[in-house]
Amino acid sequence: MELTRLSDRTYYIPGPVNVGIITLEKSRVILVDSGIDSNYAKKIYELLSDYRYQISYILNTHSHADHVGGNNFLQKTTNCKILAAPLEAPIISYPLIQAALLFSGAPTQDLMNRFIMALPSEPEIFTEKELKIEDLTINVLDLPGHSINQKGFLVDGTAFIADAVFPDIFFKKHLLPFNYDPLVHLQTLENLKKVQAQNFVGGHLRHTSNIATLLANNSTHVNNAVAFMRRLLKVPQSQERVVKSFLSHYEMKKNGWQYFLFRATVNGYLSALHKNGAIKYRILDNLVVWYAA
């Protein structure tokens, strides 16, 4: 684990999920997300302590467990303030909501794991387009799509862009990344073209000065999935058949809790295409059947 410098006021800690660092006066820092779990957060705490840094704030980009997994430990250890967007904060406070959403009801026990449910913490909600924290002004970036209310943060020439953009190598392992709403996600990718920054850091994207190619590649991946869904529904399909066909197309065989995670991703594509009028559904003999409009 190491601290990588990006600008005078920004650093990040590369890892399974990157953690951003924004420096304040008197050796205090703001974290952008908190790591995957308490054990990882403890290592972050120890690393920053070696530099004599004290954690005063955590800015959560969104509520997924791999981004907020260290909140609980760090809040208890440092009494830091946690800030999150309105539709993400309740899940950070009550992680059971995440598992219940994925299962569409009281979740099975195997969904109640650390990959889905982080330990709870107590965030405060922010709604501002700019966060003024002491001598700093941090611009808030709206990045919905991957998560319902995902945010990014732009400060001192560095844009922390969460899971809005994935590196090319990510798609070799995760052929179908999670998306709450893929069409909203496409708009976020388009909006990111306008963001001016010297450095971009994602949750799974190491720092880079130019994301133009990555934006195009991410858009292509989503558009290809949308196009496949359109082709699939030229013939009416039950919802379970759509999920099976979609996952099989991406050569994904998921069991247990992972099935429900990726079912939610497929449902996101269905919902997005239904919202723009491309597909419809009917209930036939107690089955949800989807078809092209």
Half-sphere exposure of 200 (CA within 13 A, CB side): 25
Structure confidence by residue, pLDDT tens digits, 44-75: 999 999 999 999 999 999 999 999 999 999 99
- Beta carbons of 113 and 257 less than 8 angstroms apart: yes
Range from 4-8, 151-155, 176-180, 202-206 carrying the lowest mean pLDDT: 176-180
Token code pair at residue 176: 């179908």
Token code pair at residue 123: 């965030």
Where is pLDDT greater, at 219 or 174?
Answer: 219
Residue 287 predicted with pLDDT over 80: yes
Report percent pLDDT > 90 for the chain.
92
Q: What per-residue confidence (pLDDT) applies to 102?
A: 94
Structure confidence by residue, pLDDT tens digits, 258-270: 999 999 999 999 9
Structure confidence by residue, pLDDT tens digits, 109-127: 999 999 999 999 999 999 9
Domains identified in the chain and CATH numbers: 4-223 (3.60.15.10), 229-292 (1.10.10)
Using a cut of 0.85, tell me whether the model's pTM lies above it. yes
Structure confidence by residue, pLDDT tens digits, 19-37: 999 999 999 999 999 999 9
Mean predicted confidence (pLDDT) in 198-217: 95
Residue 284 amino acid letter: L
CB burial of residue 162 (10 Å; 0-12, 13-18, 19+) = buried
Mean predicted confidence (pLDDT) in 190-215: 95
**Radius of gyration of the chain measured on its C-alpha atoms:** 20
What is the helix (H) or strand (E) element at residue 289, kind and residue range? strand 287-292
Mean predicted confidence (pLDDT) in 121-145: 96
Q: What per-residue confidence (pLDDT) applies to 66?
A: 95
Q: What per-residue confidence (pLDDT) applies to 1?
A: 87
